[in-house]
Amino acid sequence: MSVQVALSRRSKKEETVSTSISIPNSRDVKAMSRFSIARWLGCVTILLVLRSVAMAEEPKTAASRPVLLFTVPEYCEGIVFDHAGNGYISHGAEITRFTPDGKRSLWATTGAPNGHKILADGTHLVCDKSQHAVLRLSANGKPLTPAATDCDGKPLRGPNDLTLDTPHGGFYFTDPEESDLENRIGTVHYVDHNGKTSLIDHGLAYPNGIVLSPDGKRLWVGESMTNRVLVYEVEGPGKVKNRKIFAQLPLKNDQLGQINNLPDGMCLDDQGNLYVAHYGMQRVQVLDPSGKWIKQLDGGNLTTSNVAFGGPKMNRLFVTGGLATGQGGLFRLDLEGTKGLTITPQISLHSEK
């Protein structure tokens, strides 16, 4: 008769329990005292409790299956939709536009486009690493005066993602370039309605995806190299305080044989849940407003880069990233009972200089 319990700790929020229980045969039972039987039953009870707790704490991959819409030659990201329902994704030096009926065309060529948002007047804001700027493009993809190129006289290293602060006419963006765990020089910035760029945080290990809550009171930033999401309290336009760890994301199963776990682009649904593209995990992690990990979605791509809600009912989650072939893939997940928040504002930000 033997009872064995193996606990394998993968993260602070995730435990797996494997059990091996030998059931005594009739001869063993006759030889066992009442005390021995009670002790054996007690061990079995403990095992079952541990197993049920572990299973309860580990969210399952949701059933919605990703549908591949199309591929592009390179890894893709920067998914966004305009007021007419047209979508845009960045890959290589290009931005591809696709219509609701699936027609695709080259919309713009910049340098290394990434995070992308669209203003009410049709102007596009695009983070571009190679141009070390947040670009401004017209509705037909023509370059305008950049929205941000420096902060306090220092050139930007390589903006990655941005989120609009529509009520105040500004936006936040991340600049992670050249930062990592040993060189924590990543920064977060704010551009106000007059076009002035200010520093709101620094010392980060690759700040990546960024999202502002609809009420403008909370700002989330994915810190890729630490595999976590940070949250700030927003006091006013470009003024934040009390940076905290919102969530430490799960670690990958080694059997996936992929690269590291890195939070990337993010978006919100109308219940305040945060959807995080988890690069290297093939997953989109879903966190509730308190930071609790509630479920994960299959992102379709080998590496998951960005997410955005779209479709007529705003219940379709679009996911970008990279396939094993080296191509970029755009996947769609139909999420019944879930509605995303639109990221197309109803008023314009600061005017063209």
Residue 261 annotated as part of some ligand binding site: no
Contact 319, 66 (CB under 8 A): yes
45 Cα distance to chain centroid: 39
Regarding beta strands 162-165 and 170-175, do their DSSP bridges make them parallel or antiparallel, or are they unpaired? Answer: antiparallel
Q: At CA 8, angle to CA 6 and CA 13, rounded to 5?
A: 130
Neighbours of 244 (CB within 10 A): 10
Q: Is 150 a catalytic residue?
A: no
3-state secondary structure of 131: coil
Residue 264 annotated as part of some ligand binding site: yes
Of the listed 264, 269, 270, 298, which one is catalytic?
A: 264
Residue 270 annotated as part of some ligand binding site: no
DSSP H/E element including 34: helix 34-57
Nearest to 342 by CA among 270, 255, 252, 236: 270
SS (H, E, C) 172-187: EEEECCCCCCCCCCEE
C-alpha 87/C-alpha 242 separation (Å) is 35
C-alpha 71/C-alpha 75 separation (Å) is 9
Annotated binding-site residue numbers for substrate:
160
Annotated binding-site residue numbers:
160, 208, 264
Q: Which residues are catalytic?
A: 264
Annotated binding-site residue numbers for a divalent metal cation:
208, 264
